[in-house]
A and B are shown apart, each in its own frame.
Chain A
Amino acid sequence: MGILSDLLYPFRRPAPPAPRTATGFFTDTTLCIGCKACEVACKQWNQLPSDGFTFTGDSYDNTGTLSATTWRHVTFAEQFPSSDAQPPEPSITPSGSLDIQALLAQAQSGRWLMMSDVCKHCSTAPCEIACPTGALIVNEFANVYLQNDICNGCGYCVAACPFGVITRSEIDGHAHKCTLCFDRQRDDMIPACAKACPTGSIQFGSIEELRERARKRVEELMARGVTDAYLYGDAPSASYSTLGAFFLLLDDPSRYGLPGNPARPQLSLAADWLRTAVGAIISVAIVLAVLLTHAV
């Protein structure tokens, strides 16, 4: 390649491939055992560096956050009553005349929630909208893909993401995030994290099929008495699009480190414009007033 060709490289845009079945992740937290196989499988496939060794004390989560070099992150939430607040035990007599049914029905008195977090591959992705260089694209699988060869490290996407998924790497100054294993999908292989997940908590496939499966799963769990099960990101909200990586949760999203009500930053643009316009008018009015006052 000549110098000219190199210079022009960021602007070359060959014809895009034809769209294929839209894909995504369904992460069922009721099956997550917090093993972090997804984190390592991701680092292995993508050859990502480790992020340093910090003992956080935040349960078993020493990863902390998603970042340019960590594309899967398992969160942990310990929910236990203090020991003086244990539920009362059914009484038992030596003859064993106790209410067995009540005994068997007794629920666990605490729980440890775990969830594998990842880039949400939003169907309307603020990062992609914010990207001024065209590095962020929606690929033929409808996944949000960050093109390493285009990114110039401006960081607009970092600020745009309401989930805090993207950061810039100190190694190369560029932004990086989950590619949904674009390279593997091209060869009909499933993403490394979903493949490794030993319990099927991370499921990959056609996003339409996953949504259907997930809704059935919630019904199933409800029928089993897991009444707090619900889906996060399977449908659009007033302020946000559906997610290409959505979750089945058992508690408030904040317990899993997810925003309760994610909003597109662009939504606040209208108000921002209005504020700017009003501000401008007021400024002009003041200046005019001052000028007029002095002129008088």
Chain B
Amino acid sequence: MSASRHGFSPDSIAKHSRLRGATKSHSVCPYCAVGCSQNVYTKDGQIIDIEGDPESPINEGTLCPKGANTFQLVSNPHRVTRVKYRAPYSDHWEERPLDWAMERIAQLTKEARDRDLVERDANGMTVNHLKTLAHLGGATLDNEENYLIKKLFAGGLGILPIENQARI
């Protein structure tokens, strides 16, 4: 059965996996909360393959269709890679430098806080809170990111409405 009528081409003789010579990094699937471990393979600073980590006792190398799609998620031509800015009442995006956007956001944040922070309530109790700024999101972010968001926005700026997808 193994003998073929036809011969192997030079490419077929030489064929092997593209992972030869690749660097393996350990990652976790970005989709649901099962927590599947993933191996991310890179060559020349570019991701060339993402699959389940066979060593993981959580998923033992397997993934679901979304997890198997992680490569397309990250190496995606639709991804936005430049800062986009839409001025009030404008009908289009403009590209702006990251530094400019960061400074403008910091200024707007400070303006709102300086105007709206409540130090004491009507009964004279220290409340130090700000309700005109809000944050939403976190369930797809790193723990470290969530921690710093709460620390800066609540502990530093006094913002109360800080929320994410986890409402139970």
Contact = CB atoms under 8 A, between A and B. Distances in A.
A binds B: yes
Interface of A: 9-10, 12-14, 16-17, 19, 22, 35-37, 39-41, 44-45, 123, 128-129, 131, 134-140, 142, 145, 147-150, 182-184, 186-187, 189, 192, 195-198
A182 B2 CA distance: 14
A139 B16 CA distance: 13
Contact of B67 (A14, A37, A186, A187): A37
Contacts of A135: 6
B11 A147 contact: yes
A40 B68 contact: yes
Given A37-B68, A45-B49, A128-B4, A137 B12 contact: yes
Interface stretch (B17-25, B128-136, B159-167): B17-25
B30 interface: no
B50 interface: yes
A187 B9 contact: no
B138 interface: no
A186 B15 contact: yes
Given A39-B65, A198-B63, A14 B51 contact: no
Most chain-B Cβ atoms within 10 A of its Cβ — which of A10, A184, A198? A198
A181 to B, nearest CB: 8
Dominant SS among interface residues on chain B? loop
A235 to B, nearest CB: 14
B49 to A, nearest CB: 7
A137 B71 CA distance: 31
A40 B61 contact: no
Contacts of B102: none
A138 B13 contact: no
B63 A140 contact: no
Contact of A186 (B2, B7, B10, B17): B17
Contact of A16 (B8, B19, B59): B8
A242 to B, nearest CB: 9
A57 B81 CA distance: 37
Contact of A37 (B9, B19, B63): B63
6 tightest Cβ-Cβ pairs between the two chains A and B = A13-B7, A134-B6, A19-B2, A138-B4, A40-B68, A187-B17
B69 A40 contact: yes
A131 B4 CA distance: 12
Nearest to B63: A196
Nearest to A198: B62
Interface string B62-80: 1111111101100000000
Contacts of A44: 49-51, 68-69, 71-72
Given A37-B64, A182-B15, A196-B51, A138 B9 contact: no
A145 B7 CA distance: 11
21 contacts: A14-B13, A16-B8, A17-B8, A19-B3, A35-B64, A37-B63, A44-B49, A44-B71, A45-B49, A134-B5, A134-B6, A136-B6, A137-B7, A142-B2, A183-B17, A183-B18, A187-B17, A189-B19, A196-B52, A196-B62, A196-B64
A40 B20 contact: no
Contacts of B87: none
Contact of A22 (B2, B5, B13, B17): B2
Nearest to B6: A134
Contacts of A134: 5-7
B1 interface: yes
Contacts of A36: 65
A10 B3 CA distance: 20
Contacts of B52: 195-196
A147 B68 contact: no
A135 B1 CA distance: 17
Nearest to B11: A149
A184 B72 CA distance: 20
Contacts of A128: 4-6
Contacts of B61: 195-196
A16 B7 contact: yes
A13 B69 contact: no
Contacts of A150: 9
Interface string B33-61: 00000000000000001111010000101
B69 to A, nearest CB: 5
